[in-house]
A and B are shown apart, each in its own frame.
Chain A
Amino acid sequence: MAKYSLNTPLTDADIEKLRAGDVVLLSGIIYSGRDAAHKKLTDLLDAGKPLPFDLKGASIYYVGPSPAPPGRPIGAAGPTTSYRMDAYAPRLISLGLKASIGKGKRNDEVKKAMRDHKAVYFGATGGAGALLSKCITASKIIAFDELGPEAVREMTVKDFPLLVINDAFGGELYAKPNLPE
């Protein structure tokens, strides 16, 4: 398994070299967005209105951080469970989203969209919110302030540690449970 340092926005060439199990240290701008924000992003698309950020090459982090204490750019900021965004993800991927970051399984529609449009799904370590916050050097709310922890934030990350869970070729890292038939 390979280890890469990548910068956002991600390109097709970046995505094509990644395989499930690879370690990626991601740097640059990523956007936070979880349940309610995805609903609102989709509503904007339905209404033909512009999104608060350019989806082309973008990476969305499924996170609702805790409030930033004084002197820090952000509070704890680990991933939330990704399947709840499966209803929205294929459309965003078809419009240029290159990476989503979360934890847990994705459904077949999301995996197909990642194959069809060259995108990946990264896993970050769930329950390590304090540790992961160290890699976020700046954060500002750029949309949906009223959603509180669910607002869309533009985050600057430096060597954010990720694992490729699903690659753009159908590969998946998660262990299949050993269930007796």
Chain B
Amino acid sequence: MREIKAADVSAAVARMCVSANTKLPDDVRRKFEEGLKNETTEAGKEIFRQLLENADLAFETKLPLCQDCGLAIFYVELGEDARVEGGVNAAITAGMVAGYKDGFLRKSSCDPMTRKNTGDNTPAIIHIDLVPGDRLKISYMAKGGGSENMSRVTMLAPSQGWEGIKKFVVQRVAEAGPNPCPPVILGIGIGGTFEYAPKIAKKALLRKLDDTHPDPKIAAMEAELLAEVNKLGIGPMGLGGSYTCLAVKIAMAPCHIASLPLAVNVQCHSARHEEVEF
């Protein structure tokens, strides 16, 4: 059994929270640069120009890219032959709390009924998968409330199939309009169950924007959905244009013979995530 020091995990998580909130990922920046060049509307181009300036300023000043530093989401792959002293949950939580405090990140977690802020952004939302081996991989995502509010889960009938999926996704983005800070990124979970579809939909948002799904059939589905959504013309911040969505990432899982679960996790353009491996 490999022992991983809790302090090392906490320190890496704290660093990751600060870094992800202040440095725009390179793949997202490349999409902004592409948008600045190719967007069809002047208003849309102006938004990309501002977002690139914002990214430069955040990197220089260490101010967060966005004041909504999100709930802290972690996808963890923990080897069955590895352990973190004191527990991996506690180590990640301690690191998240330290990162949000020391990095002057906003704490956005509150009681659902009293609306009282928990004060330290706890609880971290932690999904742990046990995997073979003795590695530990922690992926962190800062997930803002504005885009999360525009996300939906639905249980389609199997007869609705691909056409039903496309219709639901396009409708969702149309109804969301300017609200989730377009251009958005869509994490789509197809299959699984009522709770599993959104879990894999969100995890799909950890992929690079410019990667290609290894399964050519799914890659083609992603391309088709991206094209359909971008026909909406919503554009950057809803001001009109061809860049409503930067990328569609699909995750699929087998489902019950009675069901076709579908989750659409909407991510804003400020797609902040990083990962660390031990």
Q: CB within 8 Å of B: which residues of A?
A: 35-36, 39, 63-69, 72, 75-78, 80-81, 83, 103-105, 123, 125-131, 133-134, 146-150, 163, 173-175, 177-179
B232 within 8 A of A: yes
Q: Which of B57, B116, B171, B177 is within 8 Å of A174, CB to CB?
A: B177
Q: Which of A65, A69, A72 is within 8 Å of B106, CB to CB?
A: A65
Cβ of B170 under 8 Å from chain A: yes
Contact B65 A127 (CB under 8 A): yes
Contacts of A83 in B (CB 8 A): 179
Report chain B residues within 8 Å CB of A125. 47, 50-51, 54, 237
Q: Which residues of A contact B54 (CB under 8 A)?
A: 125, 127-131
Q: Which of B213-247 contact A (CB under 8 A)?
A: 231-235, 237-241
Supply 24 A–B pairs (Cβ within 8 Å), ascending by A: A64-B108, A65-B106, A66-B67, A66-B105, A67-B104, A76-B64, A76-B65, A76-B106, A77-B67, A81-B146, A83-B179, A104-B238, A105-B178, A125-B50, A125-B51, A127-B269, A128-B51, A148-B119, A150-B117, A173-B239, A175-B233, A175-B235, A175-B239, A177-B177
Look across to chain B and name the residue whose beta carbon is closest to the beta carbon of A127: B270
Residues of B within 8 A of A69 (CB): 62-63, 104
Within the complex, what minimum Cβ distance (angstroms) separates B13 from chain A? 19
Point out the residues of chain B lying under 8 angstroms from A133, CB to CB.
63
The smallest C-beta distance from A85 to any residue of chain B, in angstroms, reads 13
- A66–B237 CB distance below 8 A: no
Q: For A68, what are the chain B residues with a Cβ–Cβ distance below 8 Å? A: 104
Contact, CB under 8 Å: A105 / B179? yes
CB of A25, distance to nearest CB on chain B (Å): 14
Interface: B174 (CB within 8 A)? yes
User: Residues of B with Cβ closer than 8 Å to A?
Assistant: 47, 50-51, 53-54, 57-58, 61-69, 104-108, 115-117, 119, 145-146, 149, 170-171, 173-174, 177-181, 231-235, 237-241, 268-270
Known: A66-B106, A134-B57, A179-B174. A129 touches B66 (CB 8 A): yes
Q: How far is the CA of A87 from the CA of B50 in the complex (A)?
A: 31
Q: How far is the CA of A104 from the CA of B237 in the complex (A)?
A: 8
Chain B residues within 8 Å of A179, by CB: 170-171, 174, 232
Q: Are A130 and B57 in contact (CB under 8 A)?
A: yes
By a CB distance below 8 angstroms, the chain B residues around A147 are: 117
List chain A residues, Cβ under 8 A from B62: 69
- Closest chain B residue to A77, Cβ basis: B67
Q: How many Å lie between the Cα of A80 and that of B138 in the bound state? A: 29
Nearest CB in chain B: distance from A75 CB, A? 6
